[in-house]
Amino acid sequence: MPALEGHVIHTTNLTKKYGKNTALNNVNIEVGNSGITAILGENGAGKTTFIHACLGLIKATHGQISMFGLPPGKLTSRRRTGVMLQDADLPDLLTPREHITLFASYYPAPLSLDDVLDMCKLTTLADKKYGKLSGGQKRRVQFALAIIGNPDLVFLDEPTTGLDTDTRRMLWDVVRKLAEDGRTVILTTHYLEEADALADRIIVMNAGEIIADAPTPEIRALAGGAIIKCVTNLSVKAIHKLPDVKSVRKTGRFVEISTQNQASTLQGLLAADINASELVVKKPSLEEAFDQIIHNQEQA
């Protein structure tokens, strides 16, 4: 199947079944040759299966996949692709320097080892045995392996799970830099603030199907309305009865009121409790939009 003009990934009716379980159900995805796409979805939604199918690690039950215009797993596309798998396993006895050097040898024009060690904050760990590294340090080595080849396309499957805040920021910076350099990044994450901070486009999967696929601002806008945060003596039940309230959540001494119409809810709130204080009105986050997309799907 030829690649669509400017597309690095193009799947048509991609389906993967494990016995009676359908992990991917007629998935149609086109990914262009730049930008960061985040694939979101609850556990078991099919995110990792999609990545494995694109890499040729598993065979589709039916449907087609084009990677750089070729079927998955071909050497030419592998040489243009970097991968950080969710369950990566590397030999314990090699050092980060040895692992990264080995991976660099698979690619035609790799980055410099020292640059990648530096970017991934591995310089001081370069000569330690991989088996003696901490979980987060191992993830950093796996990330380094995904980028050492200077690939056009990078898959990152839950790259920041278990990373400390500084390391997560380091990884975000490198991912942004990759995209600025015109690379294509596909990442999965359960941290919605990560998708919000990084991705140009969001794909939401549920039970093997794509249930939303749009630029990040459009996905965020799906939640609509606003969130009013305040301290009030009103009960949750009373707040629910205010005009246009969608949901109410207690967070410590604050309540967070999700509303369709901030003006009418605020008016009602202040009429009912003139002492409501520490008022903040904010736009819904990607998290609210995601909850709504999944919730709508479950009701359908």
Residues that bind ligand ATP (CB under 6 A): 18, 21, 23, 41, 43-49, 86
Partner interacting with residue 268 (select from Mg ion, ligand ATP, none; CB below 5-8 Å by kind): none
Q: Which of 295, 287, 291, 283 is nearest to 229 (CA)?
A: 283
Closest CA to 206 of 36, 22, 62, 55: 22
Residue placing its CB nearer to ligand ATP in the complex, 17 or 176: 17
Output the residue with the shortest Cβ distance to Mg ion: 48
Residues near Mg ion (CB under 5 A) are 47-48, 86
- Distance, in Å, from the CA atom of 171 to the CA atom of 161, rounded to the nearest integer, reads 11
**Residue closer to Mg ion, measured from CB, 7 or 47:** 47
Q: How far is the CB of 15 from ligand ATP (least distance, A)?
A: 12
Which lies closer to ligand ATP via its Cβ, residue 18 or residue 106? 18
* CB 159 to Mg ion: min, Å: 12
Q: Which is nearer to ligand ATP, 41 or 82 (CB)?
A: 41
Which of Mg ion, ligand ATP, none has residue 18 at its interface (CB below 5 to 8 Å by kind)? ligand ATP
Is 84 or 248 the residue whose CB approaches ligand ATP more closely?
A: 84
The listed partner (Mg ion, ligand ATP, none) that binds 106, CB under 5 to 8 Å by sort, is none
- For the bound state, the minimum distance from the C-beta of residue 157 to Mg ion, rounded and expressed in Å, comes to 6
Of the two residues 86 and 247, which places its CB atom closer to Mg ion in the complex?
86
Partner touching 142 among ligand ATP, Mg ion, none, CB below 5 to 8 Å by kind: none
Contact partner at residue 49 from ligand ATP, Mg ion, none, CB < 5 to 8 Å by partner kind: ligand ATP
In the complex, minimum distance from the CB of residue 18 to ligand ATP, in angstroms, rounded to a whole number: 4
DSSP class per residue in the chain: -PPPTTEEEEEEEEEEEETTEEEEEEEEEEEESSEEEEEE-STTSSHHHHHHHHHTSS--SEEEEEETTB-TT-HHHHTTEEEE-TT----TTS-HHHHHHHHHTTSSSPPPHHHHHHHTT-GGGTTS-GGGS-HHHHHHHHHHHHHTT--SEEEEESTTTT--HHHHHHHHHHHHHHHHTT-EEEEE-S-HHHHHHH-SEEEEEETTEEEEEEEHHHHHHTT-SEEEEEE-SS-HHHHHTSTTEEEEEEETTEEEEEES-HHHHHHHHHHH-TT-EEEEEE---HHHHHHHHHHHHHH-
Choose the one of Mg ion, ligand ATP, none that binds residue 284, judging by a C-beta under 5 to 8 angstroms depending on kind: none
The gap from C-alpha 256 to its chain's centroid, in whole angstroms, comes to 26
State the nearest-atom distance from the C-beta of 213 to Mg ion, in Å. 18
Q: Report the nearest approach of ligand ATP to the CB of residue 13 (Å).
A: 17
Nearer to ligand ATP, 44 or 136 (CB): 44
